[in-house]
Structure 1
Amino acid sequence: MKAYRRVIVVVLCFLSISVFAQKNELGAWYMYFGNNKISDRFNFHNEIQYRNFDAGTDLEQLLIRTGIGYDLTENNNNVLVGYGFVLSKPYINGEKSENIEHRLFQQYITKQKFGRVFLQHRYRLEERFLQDDFRMRFRYLLGINIPINNKEMLPKTWYASAYNEIFLHFNSPVFDRNRVYGAVGFVINKNMRIEAGYMNQIQENKNRGQIQIGFYNNIPFTKN
Structure 2
Amino acid sequence: MIKRTFAFLAGISFGLLAAQKSDVGNWLMLFGNEKINPKFNIHYEVQYRNYDFIGDLNQLLLRTGIGYNLSENNNNVLLGYAYVHSHNYDADQNISQLDEHRLFQQFITKQKFGRVQLNHRYRIEERFLQPKTEVRFRYQLGIIVPFNNTSLVKNTWYASVYDEIFINAKKEAFDRNRLYAAVGYVINDKMRIEGGLMNQMLSNTDRYQFQIGFYLNDIFGLMR
Q: Shorter-normalised TM-score: what interval? A: over 0.9
| Aligned partner of 1:67 among 65, 68, 72 | 65
Partner residue of 1:162?
Answer: 161
Pair 1:130–1:46, CA change in 2 (3 A): same
Pair 1:99–1:18, CA change in 2 (3 A): farther
Q: Which 5+ residue runs of structure 2 have no aligned equivalent? A: none
Partner residue of 1:144?
Answer: 143
Q: Are 1:98 and 2:94 matched, yes or no?
A: no
Partner residue of 1:80?
Answer: 78
Q: In the aligned structure 1, how far is the partner of 2:21 from the partner of 2:154?
A: 38
Partner residue of 1:221?
Answer: 222
Partner residue of 2:201?
Answer: 202
1:198 deviation in Å?
A: 0.1
Percent identity over paired residues: 55
Q: Quick check: 2:73–2:110 contact (8 Å CA) kept in 1? A: no
1:132 deviation in Å?
A: 1.8
Aligned pairs, number: 221
Partner residue of 2:56?
Answer: 58
Q: Which 5+ residue runs of structure 1 have no aligned equivalent? A: none
Q: Residue type matched to 1:75 in 2?
A: N
- 1:175-186 correspondence to structure 2 within 5 Å: 175-186=174-185
Q: Quick check: 1:48–1:64 contact (8 Å CA) kept in 2? A: yes
1:73 deviation in Å?
A: 0.7
Q: Quick check: 2:142–2:161 contact (8 Å CA) kept in 1? A: yes
Q: Residue type matched to 1:65 in 2?
A: R
Residues 4-56 of structure 1: per-residue CA shift (max 9 Å, x gap):
23211221023213534874421000000011111111000000000001123
1:90 deviation in Å?
A: 1.1
Q: In the aligned structure 2, how far is the partner of 1:216 from the partner of 1:88?
A: 24
Partner residue of 2:40?
Answer: 42
Q: Quick check: 2:22–2:53 contact (8 Å CA) kept in 1? A: no
What TM-score comes out, normalization by structure 1 length?
0.95
Q: Aligned to 2:131, what secondary structure does the other structure show?
A: coil
Q: Aligned to 1:156, what secondary structure does the other structure show?
A: coil
Q: Aligned to 2:223, what secondary structure does the other structure show?
A: coil
Q: Aligned to 1:90, what secondary structure does the other structure show?
A: strand
